[in-house]
Structure 1
Amino acid sequence: MSVPAGSPAAVVFDAYGTLLDVHAAVARHAGRLGAQASAVSALWRAKQLEQSWILSATGDYADFATLTRRALDIALAAHGIADDALRDDLLGAYRRLDAFPDAAPALAALRGAGLATAILSNGEPAMLEEAVAAAGLDPLLDAVLSVHPLRRYKPAPEVYALATTRFGCAPERIAFVSANAWDAFGAARFGFRVHWLTRAPVPVEYGLDRLARARIATLAELPGLLA
């Protein structure tokens, strides 16, 4: 099927938090963590992202799998948890996160409309390959792009340029979807058509009420907006 004039050259998705549920790893082992499960998961995610921003800002780099391990160690230590077996199980679960229920149907509908689909992620290549395969999303993607060759993390502009290079187009021809406000802002500043995903009600950040093309509550809205 040909893509109508004015349609994006590709629809590019953030992976962690947008297509993949970053809290699924802890959810699988919540019984072993007890009442601290939600707090551990939230701190794990916060420290993972914090490290990526600090390293990029200071010109340093460690791959995302390393940041994920370091962040989990901080989260467990902060809650007084010393359990090596649990730590290993959580890290294993993080490499095989569940896809959100709306992810595969949306990707399939976009591809059915003739649109290319891709991931642009902080994840390192092996980590992404395993996660995408485990979530069953690999047949629905034309490309999985990792920041790893650049040794920089989003929201560095050169990261978003990976998508324009891959699809041979200007930034405004890329529709970008992220559930992370800071990522949506970085993509909008780069020139992408940003669709900010907020599955739960959250306040507007970074002027995204002006910068984003649309704010969506589910990926099911995308085909109607883009195809």
Structure 2
Amino acid sequence: MARTFCFDMYGTLCDTSSVTATLGEELGVSAALVDEIDATWRRRQLEYANQVSLMEAYRPFWEVTSAALDYALARYALSPDEETRERILDAYNHLDPHEGAAETLERLGAADHAVTVLSNGNPEMLERLAENAGLAPHLDDLVSADEVSTFKPSPAVYENAAERTGRDIGDCTLVSGNAWDVAGAGAAGMETAWVNRARDPPEEIGADPTDEFRTLTDVAVAFE
């Protein structure tokens, strides 16, 4: 039976750590420090998204990402000029797609499933990245948490995605590489497909994944 597949963008379809190439080029620091900056940037991005949600002080994900970069740079006593900082931030518009990303979207679409993105990214971020990563031609829609002014894993984000696609929430499947996202979507009533590349255990809070896969291609094989 045809379903709606809602793909997370950051960390699932696209590799957030591909910013390391730009960090290394622009900052001229060691590879080890680049990896620490990258990890701090991503961790703070997610923490700030949770923080503004809990404070009911919503800010678009681009602003959250920008603030997280500033924290990461300050954490390691780095103060690049504004043009350098902007080039680093722009790396989020040019993340590398994970292996099999476009093929998976195409195969599911060819099997008559609806294929969307469901992401914390605000619409402008998602449009730029989907185009630059070569994913846009394979997507039916881009659904942003910005539409409900909060972030995953709030149930409102997943419920809005189901409403946008005209499906019951139980007829939607979130595909995500983030365990916390899977736990939140499942708790909201979605089916879930966890792309567990690191072979991590599932979250202890929230719903268990409906299905678990190692790669995006495995998802296509299972549902086409």
Report the TM-score when normalising by structure 1: 0.92
User: Is the 8 Å Cα contact of residues 175 and 192 (structure 1) preserved in structure 2?
Assistant: yes
| 3-state secondary structure, aligned to 1:176 | strand
The equivalent of 2:17 in structure 1 is 23
CA RMSD of aligned residues (A): 1.5
1:168 aligns with 2:199: no
Say which of 174, 182, 185 aligns to 1:184. 182
- Give yes or no for contact 1:188–1:212 (8 Å, CA) kept in 2: yes
**Match for 1:65: what amino acid?**
W
CA contact (8 A) 1:56 1:153 kept: yes
Residue 101 of structure 1 is matched in structure 2 by: 99
Q: Percent identity?
A: 35
Runs of 4+ in 1 over 4 A off after TM superposition: none
Encode CA deviations 1:164-207: one digit per residue, 9 max, x unaligned. Answer: 11221211101111111111101000111101111122233236
In the TM superposition, what are the counterparts of 1:5-16 in structure 2 within 5 Å? 5=1, 7-8=2-3, 10-16=4-10
Distance 2:147 2:200 in 1: 33
Q: Tell me, in whole angstroms, the C-alpha distance in 2 between the residues paired with 1:56 and 1:63.
A: 11
- 2:92 partner letter: Y
Tell me if 1:78 matches 2:71: no
Name whichever of 86-95 and 198-207 sits farther off: 198-207
> What does residue 129 of structure 1 align with?
127
Structure 2 residue corresponding to 1:58, chosen from 55, 58, 64: 55
Does the Cα contact within 8 Å between 1:181 and 1:206 map onto a contact in 2? no
Residue aligning to 1:115: 113
Question: Residue type matched to 2:89 in 1?
Answer: L
Secondary structure of the equivalent of 2:97? coil
Structure 2 portions without partners, runs of 5+: none
Code of the aligned partner of 2:159? A
State the AA in 2 paired with 1:59. E
Separation in structure 2 between the aligned mates of residue 201 and residue 164 of structure 1, nearest angstrom: 28
Structure 1 CA distance, aligned partners of 2:45 and 2:29?
Answer: 19
Query: C-alpha displacement at 1:158, in angstroms?
Result: 0.9
Q: Which amino acid aligns with 1:27?
A: A
Q: Cα deviations across residues 55-87 of structure 1 (Å, max 9, x unaligned)?
A: 111211111111111000100111111112432
1:25 and 1:33 map into 2 onto residues whose CA distance is: 14
User: Post-superposition shift, 1:224?
Assistant: 2.4
Structure 1: 5+ residue runs without aligned partners? Answer: none
The size of the alignment, in residue pairs, is 220
Contact 2:148 2:160 in 1 (8 A): no
Q: Distance in 1 between matches of 2:204 and 2:223?
A: 24
TM-score of the aligned structures, taking structure 2 as reference length? 0.93
How many Å separate the matches in 1 of 2:205 and 2:69? 31
Distance in structure 1 (CA, Å) of the matches to 2:205 and 2:47:
21
